[in-house]
Amino acid sequence: MPNAIPQHVAIIMDGNGRWAKKQGLLRVQGHEVGVQRVEEIIKAAQEKGIRFLTLYAFSKENWRRPKEEVEFLMGLLSSYLDKKIEVLIKNNCIFNVIGEMGDLAPTLQKKLKQAMETSKHNTGLVVTFALSYSSRREILRACQKIAEQAVRGAIQPSGITEETLSRNLYTADMPDPELLIRTSGEMRISNFLLWQISYAELYITQKFWPEFTRDEFEKALEDYKGRERRFGDTCPGRGSNESSGARAVNGGKT
């Protein structure tokens, strides 16, 4: 039996700079074309019936880039919110952010919070942008929150389960991604959703993000369909319809 359409797809949108260089353009022009692909892939995900789409847009580590490029990316995000978010919300999408939002400029934070607030009663695709995101820091923050609960006596250390940690991540309300896509060929995770992708299928394409069209997305979904998901078992099937992989094996109890 082929796998069903994944409930949750996460994407590391990489390669804007290299794509631009190949075309003789500036890196920032690659980011501009990248935004068009974001719109296209959101539409495609909606049409395919995917429930959660999580897009790695800016990592905590990306602050190390030259100031001009960081400013350009922030400006691009801001104008995306100004011009496109209304349509996204009208199309019944829920807009969501994971990451350290406090790092962003107050005006940008305001726009993001407004988009989240306006869309929170929608019932369609949940579009999550990872912004100033670091998976290690997300896990660390969860540990701190759990430790505080333990100090208050609200939880016993022996009562801390995988579920407890999952519930204290930014992604608490989402199933784990079944499919992780990375464009532009790098064979690395770059500090993205380390806990959540423990049993995700990986799809790494040589295409740069500005080349990752709807057709390319469909290829990734087609590839996923044919994957044999075993979850440590000897044959596929048992638990393969579960979205949360390893967590499904023992019903989330450890």
CB-wise, 14 or 178, nearer to Mg ion? 14
- Name the minimum Å distance from CB 196 to ligand IPE: 16
Q: Are 21 and 204 in contact, with CB atoms under 8 Å apart?
A: no
Q: Which one of the spans 8-16, 104-112, 114-122, 152-160 is the region binding ligand IPE (CB under 6 A)?
A: 8-16
96 is catalytic: no
Buried b (16+ CB within 10 A) or exposed e, 222-234: eebeebebebeee
In three-state secondary structure terms, 69 is: helix
- Name the minimum Å distance from CB 182 to ligand IPE: 8
Q: Which of 3, 7, 8, 16 binds ligand IPE (CB under 6 A)?
A: 16
Q: Are 208 and 15 in contact, with CB atoms under 8 Å apart?
A: yes
- Among the listed residues 3, 14, 96, 168, the single catalytic one is 14
Q: Is 57 in the site for Mg ion (CB under 5 A)?
A: no
Q: Which residue has the tokens 């929170």?
A: 120
Which tokens go with 80? 């995306």
Residues 46-75 that bind ligand IPE (CB under 6 A): 56-59, 62, 73
Q: Which of 10, 12, 126, 146 binds ligand IPE (CB under 6 A)?
A: 12
Contacts of 212 (CB under 8 A, 6+ apart): 13, 37, 41, 183, 205
CB-wise, 14 or 201, nearer to ligand IPE? 14
- Among the listed residues 3, 16, 62, 103, the single catalytic one is 62
Which tokens go with 193? 């959703």
Q: Is 14 in the site for ligand IPE (CB under 6 A)?
A: yes
| CA-to-CA separations, 130 to 79, 101, 114, 206, in angstroms, rounded | 17, 9, 17, 22
Q: What angle do CA 200, 98, 119 make, to 5 degrees?
A: 105
Q: Which does 146 bind (CB under 5 to 8 A by kind): Mg ion, ligand IPE, none?
A: none
Residue whose Cβ sits closest to Mg ion: 14
Q: Is 34 in the site for Mg ion (CB under 5 A)?
A: no
233 is catalytic: no
Q: Which one of the spans 87-95, 145-153, 165-173, 183-191 is the region binding ligand IPE (CB under 6 A)?
A: 183-191
Q: Is 178 in the site for Mg ion (CB under 5 A)?
A: no
Q: Are 245 and 200 in contact, with CB atoms under 8 Å apart?
A: yes
Q: How many residues bind Mg ion (CB under 5 A)?
A: 1
- Calculate the CA 171 to chain-centre distance: 9
- Name the minimum Å distance from CB 14 to ligand IPE: 5
Q: Are 114 and 96 in contact, with CB atoms under 8 Å apart?
A: no
| CA-to-CA separations, 138 to 99, 132, 235, in angstroms, rounded | 7, 11, 33
Catalytic residue annotation:
14, 62
The contact set with Mg ion (CB under 5 A) reads: 14
The contact set with ligand IPE (CB under 6 A) reads: 12-18, 56-59, 62, 73, 184, 186, 188, 190, 209
